């Protein structure tokens, strides 16, 4: 669960880096039911660690909660903390998934990072943990292979 006071409902400055960000967990209101939650972040940005130029991604994050769910404001602040952070696509995608999994300990979590091209090559990164419980519907991410991602 969240340590201290939740970020929800109060003014919170943008974390200076992903390491400074906090992901808030709150009690799952339906612990007796398996269901999927989807977060979509179509405007993620970070910096190339070599050139310092901006990189852009469209994230689709699905999870099946156990005891906790992730509070969305804390996720927004966490994702925004990457804006001035230099890291490769693979690092960002997997690090986000691992931090979420550590914060809420879901039954299942899948993150799909669809990165816009640099040098003409889009890099899509996928990571998952846990097993999808039987009976839970998990739609496809719904992001097309690169053709201007539109």
DSSP state of 89: H
- Please state whether the predicted TM-score (pTM) of the whole model is above 0.85: yes
Query: What pLDDT digit, counting tens, does each position of 63-91 carry?
Result: 999 999 999 999 999 999 999 999 999 99
Active-site residue, selected from the candidate residues 20, 32, 34, 55:
55
Whether residue 46 lies in the annotated active site: no
Structural domain contains residue 1: no
User: What is the overall mean pLDDT for the chain?
Assistant: 93
Active-site pick, 20, 24, 32, 48: 48
Burial 15-44 (b: 16+ CB within 10 A, else e): beebeebbbbbbebeeeeebebbebebeeb
pLDDT tens for residues 93-142?
A: 999 999 999 999 999 999 999 999 888 888 999 999 999 999 999 999 98
* CATH code where residue 24 lies: 3.30.1130.10
Residue 149 lies in a domain: no
Domain annotation covers residue 111: yes
Instruction: Confirm whether 144 is domain-assigned.
Output: no
Can you give the pLDDT at residue 150? Answer: 55
In a domain? residue 11: no
Which domain does 32 fall in, by range?
Answer: 18-130
The domain tally of the chain equals 1
């Amino acid at each position: 669960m969240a340590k201290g006071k939740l970020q929800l409902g109060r003014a919170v400055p943008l974390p200076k880096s992903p390491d400074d960000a906090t992901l808030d967990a709150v009690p799952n209101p339906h612990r007796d039911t398996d269901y999927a939650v989807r977060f979509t972040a179509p405007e993620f940005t970070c910096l190339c660690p070599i050139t310092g130029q901006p990189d852009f991604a469209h994230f689709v994050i699905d999870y099946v909660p156990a005891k906790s769910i992730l509070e969305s404001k804390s996720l927004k602040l966490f994702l925004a903390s990457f804006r001035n952070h230099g890291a490769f696509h693979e690092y960002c995608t997997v690090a986000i998934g691992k931090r979420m999994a550590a914060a809420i300990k879901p039954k299942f979590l899948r993150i799909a990072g669809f990165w816009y091209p640099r040098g003409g090559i889009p890099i899509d990164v996928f990571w998952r943990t846990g097993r999808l419980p039987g009976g839970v519907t998990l739609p496809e991410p719904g992001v097309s292979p690169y053709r201007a991602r539109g």
